[in-house]
Amino acid sequence: MRRQLRLLVAATSAAALLALGALTQVPLAAAADEPLSQGRPVTTSSTEFAWSTGANAVDGDPGTRWSSTAADNQWIRVDLGSVQAIDRVVLDWEAAYASGFRIEVSNDASTWSTIYSTTTGTGGDQNLDVDGSGRYLRLWVTQRATQWGVSLWELQVLGAGGVGQPGDTTLLSYDKAGSASSSQNDGTCWLCGPDKAFDLDPASRWAVNPDTGWVDDGWIAVDLGAAAHISSVVLQWDPAFATVFDIEVSDNGSTWRTVHTTTGGTGFKQAIPLNADGRHVRVHMRDRSGPYGYSLWEFQVYGTGGAPTAPPAEPADPNFDDLDLVWSDEFDGAAGTPANASRWTIDPGLPANNELEVYTPSGNGFHDGQGNFVLEARREDRDGRQYTSHRMNTSGTFNTQYGRFEARVKVPEGRGLWPAFWMMGSDFLDGRPWPYNGEIDIMEFIGQDPTRAHSTLHAPAYNGGGGYGGGYSLPDGSKISAGFHTWAAEWDSEGIQFSLDGRDVFYADRDTVESTRGPWVYDHDFYMILNLAVGGDWPGPPDAGTPFPSRMLVDYVRVYQ
C-alpha cells in the first residue's frame, strides 16, 4: 500500500505538470497496475551524467531520467527479482530517443530472447504490447535518432507477474522429508541437513559435506508425500550456489525426469516456472560457482496435490495509514529514577564489537525529570574498563512482529560515541546466535560524524560492515547532534521503510534483498534496544576532545500496529 500511494502521488504530480504544459511524459501506471520494474536494480551500458543513472528510469518519478553516452548499442537492464510474466512495456523517451531498438528478456542475464524490435521508433510515449517472461528485461538501442545518446524518463515493465510464484497454488514442500548427496555438520554449519531447506526458516540452511561434497555433482530432493502437479520451484541460494543445475521429478524417488535445466545460474533467489508431475522433486547440481560446495537456505515447491502441511500463520501486514498506538514509554518519571521495569529490562555487562565501556546495572540510566530518559557514558573505572554506560531493552516485556517503531532522540557528539536505537530477533533469547536471529538498526550514529546517521539490516548473508543499509543527512546538512530528531521504521512482510523526521531515508525491499544479498530473516518477533556505546570497531576509541559525561536523551519510544 505504501508503495502504491507513492506511485499515485507521482502520477498526480505528472498530471498537474501536464496541465501547466511543463511535461509531455506519459502518466505513470495506476496504483493497482504498479510496474514490476518499480524501484528494481538497474544496470546500464553507460551513464552520461552522475545524476542521470539508470535507477532514475524505474523510480516512478517522471522528472528524473537515465541518459547514455553518445553512441549506438547502448542498453539498460532491469532485474525484476524473479521470473515474471510480462505483457506490456512503457517507454517515456526524452528528446534523445532511439529509432531502432529491441526489448529482450532473460532468466539468467546471459541468454536473451527478443520479444519486441523496431527500426522505426518515434520517441515520445510508447506503450508496447509484448508477450514474454523473464527475471531480467533489457532495452537494447540499435540506432539513435539524434546525434546525442539516448535518454528515458521512465521504463515501465508491466504484467501479471509472478511466473513461478505461489499465486493460487500451494506450498507443497514445507516440513517434508528431504534427502541429499551429503550434508554438513560441523562448527561452520551445524546440523545443516536437507530438512533445513524445507523448514521455512530463512536463517537455517542445507549444505553439502566439505569432506565429500565439494565436487561438481551434488543434489537435494524432497518427497512431497503424494503425487502432485508442480507449477514452480523457488531456490534461495547461499553464496555456494550452482551455476549449472537441473530440476528433476520422479514418481518413485529413483527414476528421474529432467523438467528444467539452467546453465547460467546466478545464485541468490531463483523462481523457476514448471509444468510437471511427480511425487519427488530434486535439484541436481552439476557445476559450482566457486571452490566450495553447494548450499541452499530454502528449496520451495509449489503446485497442487501432494500432501501439504500448512505452515504457521503469519500476522497480517499493517495498514500504515490506520495504526493504533500499542506500546509506548513517554519517560515522564521523576528526576533520577530508573527505567520503568514493566517496560524495560536493564542489560548490564561487557559489550561486543570491541567496545570499551561496561554497561552498569544502575546509575548510568535515569529520568531527567523533564520528560526524557538519559543514557549517560562516563569516563570512570569499572570492572577493568575505563568507561561506563547504559543499555536497556524490551526483551522481557515486549516482543512483536511488524508495525511502526519510533523514537525521538538527541544523540551526543564526540569521537568514539556510538548511540543506537535498534531491534534484535527474539529467538536470540532462545539461543540462536547473531546474526541468524536478524538485527534491525533503526538508528546508529557515530559521534565524530555529526551530520550523518545510519539505518541497517544484518542477517547471516550480510552483516557487520557488509550489512544492508545506508547513511543519510538532514536536508540542510546541519548537525544531527544539535537537537532532537525522530527516527522510525515501518516494517511489514514486503520490507522496511526507515525515516528521519518524517522523511524517508532508506527502503529495504524484501524482493531486492533476496535477489541481491540473501535471505530475508525478519518475519518473526523482535525486541527493541537503546544503548550508548563508547569505542568499538566502527567509531574507534574516544580522544582527548570527547566530552564526558556524554548523554543520549530519549523523549519517547512508541510502537503502532
Kindly list the catalytic residues. Answer: 439, 444
Q: How far is CA 122 from the centre of its chain?
A: 38
Q: CA-CA distance, 525 to 423, in Å (whole number)?
A: 10
Alpha carbon distances (Å) from 69 to 45, 52, 62, 142, 421: 9, 11, 21, 14, 44
Q: How far is CA 532 from the centre of its chain?
A: 26
Q: CA-CA distance, 96 to 127, in Å (whole number)?
A: 18
Residue 296 and residue 209 in contact, taking contact as beta carbons nearer than 8 Å: no
Q: Which amino acid is at 113?
A: S
- The two counts, helices (H) then strands (E), for the chain are 2, 32
Q: Cβ neighbours of residue 15 under 8 Å, at least 6 residues apart? A: 27
**Nearest 5 degrees, angle CA 112-CA 39-CA 421?**
135
Q: How far is CA 463 from the centre of its chain?
A: 12
3-state secondary structure 100-140: EEEEEEECCCCCCEEEEEECCCCCCEEEEEEEEEEEEEEEE
User: Which grid coordinates belong to 502?
Assistant: 518524517
Torsions phi, psi of 116, nearest 5?
A: -165, 140
Torsions phi, psi of 206, nearest 5?
A: -100, 145
420: nearest Cα among 333, 525, 326, 539: 539
3-state DSSP assignment of residue 511: helix
Residue 520 and residue 471 in contact, taking contact as beta carbons nearer than 8 Å: no
